[in-house]
Structures are given as structure tokens and as C-alpha cells.
Chains A and B, each alone.
Chain A
Amino acid sequence: MHYVAVSLVLLLIGTAGLLLRRNIVIILMSIELILNAVNLNLVAFARHHGNAAGQVFALFVIAVAVAEAAVGLGILLALYRNRETVQVDEIDLLKW
């Protein structure tokens, strides 16, 4: 159960980073942190239940996280080339 506590802490740190930081790269890192919390949870639960489904799930999550990071960094790079900023506050063309 210690693993679950650690993963909960990771989740909280990730969420806090997501909501409080203004630099997009750090937000991306926070999302990765949440996904790592998920992985830790999955492996701990797999051990707890004694079946491999959780570990297989964790492998898929890692693969998807890589794809997501690739797409995210690609979009980020394109934005940086056009706007020369990675601060969330300065991305404000669209407002209600």
C-alpha cells in the first residue's frame, strides 16, 4: 500500500504543476509525472492481485505517453517558431 501512497503524492505534485506553472514545457512534464503515478499504481496493483494485466497495461501506457509527448512537443515547437514564447499567459489570441 506504500506504493499507492507514493503514486498519490506523485499525482498531487503533477496536478499542482499542471495548474500552477506557467511554462508549457513544465506542464508537459507534469502530465508525464501523472502518467508515471499511473504506472506505479498499475504495477503495485498487479503485484497485489497477482496477475499480469496491470503490468501489460503499464507497458501500453508508456508507449502512449511517448506518442503523446511527441505530438505535444511537435505542436509546442511549431508554436514557439511562430510566437517565440512558451508562457501560457502570453498565448491569448482566442478569448470569449
Chain B
Amino acid sequence: MTEKLATLWPEIILFTCACVVMLLGLSERLGVRRLCAPVSAAGLLIAGLFAFYKTPVDPAAMLPNLPVFGKVLAAGIGLLILGLLTGIPDRDYEARVAQGRTRFDPKRTIRSEFYAFFLFSITGLMLCAGATNLIWLFLALELTSLPTYVMVALSTQRDKSLEAAVKYFFLGAMAAAVFLFGFVLLYGATGSVELAQIGATLRHQASVEGGINPIALAGLVLGILGLCFKIAAVPMHFYTPDVYQGAASPVAGMLAFVPKAAGFFALMLLLTAPGWGWMQPGGPGGGHGSLPTPIGEILAIIAVASMTLGNVLAIMQTSVKRLLAYSSIAHSGYMLVALLAGPGRPGTLLPENGYSAILFYLLSYGLTSTAAFAVLALLERKGPDGQVHEADDFADIRGLRKKHPALAWVLALSALGLMGFPPLLGFFAKLPLFASGLAGGHLVLVVILGLNSAVAAFYYLRIVSAALLESPDASGHAEGMVQTPFRGRALAGYVGVLAMVAMVVLPLLSAGSFLHVTPASWASFGGTYKDAAPLAIAPRLPSPAKPMGAAPTGEGPMSEDAPARP
């Protein structure tokens, strides 16, 4: 019990911090109210450092290294998104208070709730990474989502964001009910809520009955479908463009990362339970092989549909926010290819391990998409009706280089990064997706992934050319754009792009050959925990006496992994 608590320090710190922030924002004094954002940042920073240096690797977990990396990722990208969110709550209200037109009334402010809810959501994401059983996973997913519904509703004063919140909430609640039903069927089929125990029971049942238990199968399918909402993949993707457009750009930037990461953590944990290796003659067991047949097929269909639909619909958009929303659907499709490939043989490293590929891609996607949304959040213009409009349309960013050269470059670089243009981080993140897909034997999927990346280049290059090459059009929208006065947003944009470039350049200088880039940059992550190889996100399967035979496989890590072999 206490060992488990020791792995939860980052969450405890963030939760405490959220409670403090909730009180700070209600203060009569402006100086104290202003502390909300810095205190949240400090909380995230301390939680991240704790996760990085102090969190012990939980030996009972199925994916021992996932919690540590997941928490560091959540805190790091969370800091960037926090910068992005500054300036949203109470902007008009504080202006009126400052002009003396109204008196400060704690009941009418949303500042404390807004930052606290953001921290709650990040706490949920961290808990998701560390989940070991179904109840925990369900609660963590809900803790991630519930605050985001409120944040969407609060993000602007207009009806649009309320409407976006209604759509987001109802589809989200439906998706939660669906994956919850799936979890319950899994419990019904195996009689346990512990993920590791569920996996062991499923494999045992399969060895007796010669196939996966149909109730468990239905449960897994419903679980995957429900989680598709969180990662914005195809059958549950309808909300994405509407919600991204209706919410303020910073909140849309948050939605692009936080629920997606939570969904992928949950999918990894859920799929590790039955494990890979169902199609092999030896029956279910080890890490290498494929998922139970219908599950693998469903995931493949979802992956292809998400990639294709996301990219094709993104081409047709005139709103940059909707475009980024469709591209977020496509990115989920890319990552599902690696998910399908699975963790590979025990101990395989990055190019072949689909799980590490997903985690690295999440890092890269978080940095680049946050930077892209930061540029949109930094630009606004006063409309003829006196209302402030955020940058949204292509007309708003056309010829951006004339007035805001730095922002234009940030936008162009992040678009190139999302596209996976060779020297940028997105490219090195995409390579392992291809490699792990190939290693898992999904040639067709990898080809479709390649074709889709080419299609995606079309609309990402449209952003680049609009920002850098074209001149402003006659509507005058681009000339009217002014930069918002929030330094946090600018910081998020610049730091995101700089990190994206630095993470490539530094390992390139030290490692030389480019394929070592990703492992080298990861080794610094891996250096902090002692007992595990840097990239071994391979599952630790509690398999009852694998029928491996006497023949040693010749793989180094394998033999270390199973010391009890006769």
C-alpha cells in the first residue's frame, strides 16, 4: 500500500497545488489573484521533477516505465499548455475592475476554477499513466475529461464555446459510458479488475478453450471504441472540429494533447492485458505476434479510417483551427499503427517497439501542436462590432511575415514539424512509427501511413506558404491582427519550437548518425532509473510458464528476462 503511495507523489503535489490555486484566485487583491498561474507552474515543475528523480518504478505494474515517462511528459507539456492558457479567464472582467467600473466580486470570477481544473486534468493524465486496474483507469480517465468540459464552456464569452461544450460533454459522457460498459464486461469475463490478473486469466482461458473469451472480446471492443473518443479517432471523431473551433485556441491546444495522451495510455494498458502473440502456433503468450483476431482487425480499420478521413477533410478546410482538428484525427491514426504493432519482442528498443514509438510521438506532437495553437492564440483583431476575434481563418494568417515575422516562423516551423519534414523532430518521431509497423508485419498499414503523410504535406505546406510566402489579401484581416499582450502564450510558442529543434540538434551533434537520434535523446530519460533498460517499455507479462520450448531464441534481453527458465 505505502509502496504504491510512493509512486503517487507527483499527483499528490499537483492536487494540493490545485486546491491552493482554487483559493488564491478568490482574493480581493489583484497581486494575489495574479499568483494563480505562477503557482500552477511551480506545482507542475515540482511534480515533474519528482516524477523524474524520485518516483520509484512500480514493479507490479504491467508497463513499469510507462508511469515515469507519462508523468514527466504530462508535467513538461503541461507547463507549455499552462503558458498557453494564461490570459483566458476573467480578461474582460479584470479590465472592468481595473477601470473602476465594477467592484471585484469573488462569485463572478472564474480564474481560480480555470487554473485548478487544468491542474486536475493533468493530475488525471498522470494517474492514467500509472493505472494498474480498471477502477483506477476509469476514474483517471474521468478526472482527465470532466474538467476539460468545463474549461471549454468557460473559455470564451460567446455562445459558440457553450455549444462546443455541450457537444463535447454529451459525446464524451456517451463515450465514457461505452468504455465503462466494456470494462465491466472485462470484469465479468475474468472476475478481476487488476489488469495483470485479467491478462493472465484471458490467456489461461484461451489455452483451455482455444480462443479468447467472447464476453471479454466484446468488452475489449467496447473499451477501444469508447477510448476512440479520447484520442479523437474515427467512429468517435465528430466532435473534434466543432469543439476545437468553438473553444478558445489555448483550450483547443490543450484538448489536442491532454485527452489524447490519456487515451493512448489507457489503450496501451488495456491492450497489454490480453497481450500480443495470439496468432502464433504456440498460442497466446509473449510480446511478439498479434492481437486477438477481431481486435487487431478493428484497430487496423480504425487506424486507416482515421488517417484517411482526417487528412482528406483537412484539405478542404478554410479555418486553421478546424484544419488542426482534422490533422489531430489523422495523427491519432498514425499512432494507432504503432499501437497495433505492439511492444515487439521483450526488450526491443525504439525503432521496433511500437509503445516507445507512440510515447515519443506524443512528446513530439505535444510540442509542435502546442506551438501551432500558441501562434493562433497570440493573434487577434477587433471586428467592426467591437468584439475581439481570434485568428482562425486562413485570411487571418495570410502574409503574417509582414507584421509578425517571428510568429510566422513559429507557425511555419510547427506546421513543418507536424508534417514530419526531415530535419525536424516530427520526422524522427514518425520514423519509429514506420519501423515498428514494419517490425510488427503490418506492411499494408505502413504503406497507407506513408501515402497519408504525403497527402498531409499538402495542407501543412498551405499553412507554411500562407504565413511566409503569400501577401495579405484584400479583406484586411491580416493587417488588423495584433499580438495579444500575454507573455505566457508567446513563451509557449517559442519554447515549443525551440525544444522541437533542440531535441534534434543536440543528439545529432553528440551521436552523429541520425538513426541514433531518438535513442540517444531517450537515454537521458532512461538514465534516471536503475533497474530497467532505457527503452524497455515492453510489458512484463505474468505469463504462467510460456511454452517456449528449450530452444533459446538468441535474443540477449530475452534470456535476462526469464531467469526461472528450466
Contacts and interface: CB of A to CB of B under 8 A. Distances in A.
Interface of A: 4, 11, 14, 18, 24, 27-28, 31, 34-35, 37-38, 41-42, 45, 48-49, 51, 53-54, 56-57, 60-61, 64, 67-68, 71-72, 74-76, 78-79, 82-83, 91, 93-96
A64 B191 contact: no
Contacts of A11: 181
B176 A60 contact: no
A91 B188 contact: no
Contacts of A75: 149-150, 153, 162, 165-166, 169
B85 interface: no
A67 B149 CA distance: 12
Contact of A31 (B162, B174, B192, B245): B174
Contact of B245 (A24, A57, A79, A94): A94
Given A91-B163, A96-B241, A60 B135 contact: yes
B204 to A, nearest CB: 15
B242 interface: yes
Given A38-B184, A93-B163, A78 B153 contact: yes
Given A45-B191, A64-B138, 19 more contacts: A4-B188, A24-B166, A41-B188, A45-B184, A45-B188, A51-B192, A60-B139, A67-B142, A68-B146, A71-B149, A75-B149, A75-B150, A75-B165, A75-B166, A79-B162, A91-B166, A94-B167, A95-B242, A96-B241
A83 B241 contact: no
A71 B150 contact: yes
The 5 closest A-B pairs by CB, nearest first: A49-B191, A45-B188, A94-B242, A34-B177, A53-B193
A71 B169 contact: yes
9 contacts: A24-B166, A38-B177, A38-B180, A41-B185, A48-B188, A61-B138, A64-B138, A72-B170, A91-B167
Contacts, number: 115
A69 to B, nearest CB: 9
A57 B169 contact: no
Contacts of B142: 64, 67-68
B160 interface: yes
A31 B184 contact: no
Contacts of A76: 166
B138 A60 contact: yes
Contact of B139 (A14, A42, A45, A64): A64
Nearest to B176: A68
Interface string B140-184: 001000100110010000011011111101100110110011001
A66 B149 CA distance: 15
Contacts of B241: 96
Nearest to A76: B166
Nearest to B316: A96
B173 A42 contact: no
